[in-house]
Chains A and B, each alone.
Chain A
Amino acid sequence: GAGVSQSPSNKVTEKGKDVELRCDPISGHTALYWYRQRLGQGLEFLIYFQGNSAPDKSGLPSDRFSAERTGESVSTLTIQRTQQEDSAVYLCASSSPSYEQYFGPGTRLTVT
């Protein structure tokens, strides 16, 4: 299929380690979003990329979180020095102008 894909699907890491989560958006989608979903809760916005514009980082919870996107392709969300409260599902979405966001299946991160 041509949907949004994310990898890995599950990641278990030790507290203090860095992790990288990957998102492959739908081909041709200019916008890419990252959200965090804690257990039993709604999605929290983290960061948004639109074309070549500066990303909207207003949702990043701390400077341990960062994300990159090269052009209109793959994005990587990096969490440094992970803490137990970082345990959540990290969801990526992409969209094109005039269309709503399509979500990937998420990466379930567990920090032990």
Chain B
Amino acid sequence: GQQLNQSPQSMFIQEGEDVSMNCTSSSIFNTWLWYKQDPGEGPVLLIALYKAGELTSNGRLTAQFGITRKDSFLNISASIPSDVGIYFCAGRYIAAGNKLTFGGGTRVLVKP
């Protein structure tokens, strides 16, 4: 089946810093999604990407759908404390139906 490799697995942020994370796949996707999950809650959709090369912003978040359709990145600019949480990429391949394949997550923590 399709595999998503998400990196980094964890990162520390300091308020005001920009952060970046990415996902790569062994095969193509038609849709890339980025979710954020807070403790004890389900994932919440941040950004959805539907076309290769698409660059989409949502406030301080920017994500891109790679040209090869096998990768995507998410950038968070000027991070704030509430950006702490776990970020997941997810991909959907039309021929496989509407189910999503998730990456392993990037845990964003505050620098002590």
Contacts and interface: CB of A to CB of B under 8 A. Distances in A.
Interface of A: 4, 31, 33, 35, 40-45, 48, 50, 56, 58-59, 91, 93, 95, 100-106
B112 interface: no
Contacts of B103: 42
A41 B100 contact: no
A102 B45 CA distance: 8
A59 B99 CA distance: 9
B25 to A, nearest CB: 13
Interface of A, secondary structure class, is: strand
A105 B102 contact: no
Contact of A50 (B6, B88, B98, B104): B98
B42 A48 contact: no
A78 B90 CA distance: 25
A103 B43 contact: yes
Interface string B83-106: 000001010000001111111110
B42 A42 contact: no
A106 B40 CA distance: 8
B67 interface: no
Nearest to A58: B99
A85 to B, nearest CB: 18
Contact of B42 (A4, A56, A95, A100): A4
B33 A100 contact: yes
Interface in B61-111: 88, 90, 97-105
